[in-house]
Structure 1
Amino acid sequence: MPFIGYLFIWAELPFEFVLLRVGGTPSADTSSLAAALVARIMLGALYAFVALRYAWARWTTVALGIMSAWFVLPALPGEWQISPSASMITAAGVACRLAAALLLALPQRKLEPQAEQQTAS
């Protein structure tokens, strides 16, 4: 589930910098784009550490998912007024991140080694 939310984060990028461009200097646009790209790459690295079963990455992802929903969901009506399609992508991404946070907050089950499973049967 975190990876589906990660895809939605990348899908938001064109809306942020092409369709919803309100104004500003070109240098501000370049630094904003660089910051957005670095943030997405860092989140991808965090998800990779979650897949490698690091506990710190798991709980960091849970906290970021809950905070993402807390701060982004109240802004969706305003985004809907500007661009409904961008708002739908943002809402889908937040829903995936919140679902992933809730699933990652559940107790983690232990994996049994393959050799023990074969000898038990």
Structure 2
Amino acid sequence: MIHYTCDRCKRTIDPETEPRFVVEIDVRMANVVEPNSDQGDDLDQLAELHDQLQRELNAEIGMCLHDTLDEIDDVLCGRDLDDGPEQYDLCEQCYEAFASNPLGRETTVGYGFSNN
């Protein structure tokens, strides 16, 4: 029999009597698009092309390094490399808490001041 445990509160989840929620987290680097400038003839197109190629090369090297470090981490932690996004099991109470505040940020308390 497969046993499920909530990854947030560590309580055992019985899938036959209560709902089990699976949260998948997929994190990847976003592509940065720089706005076009209207400098006309003053723009050195060769330098701009060089800068763009350098940024793309650095991003590719960074992603390869990031992927390699992730693979090393997966091997050291005993995870399968083809798992896809990270998956977490949550019980119903923890799912509701997660859904209301997915980033886990502290909520600020509003102070009421009189109109003196």
Structure whose CA Rg is larger:
2
More helix by share: 1
TM-score normalised by structure 1 residue count: 0.32
More strand by share: 2
Q: Compare relative contact order (CA 8 Å, sep 6+) and give the higher one, 1 or 2.
A: 2
TM-score normalised by structure 2 residue count: 0.33
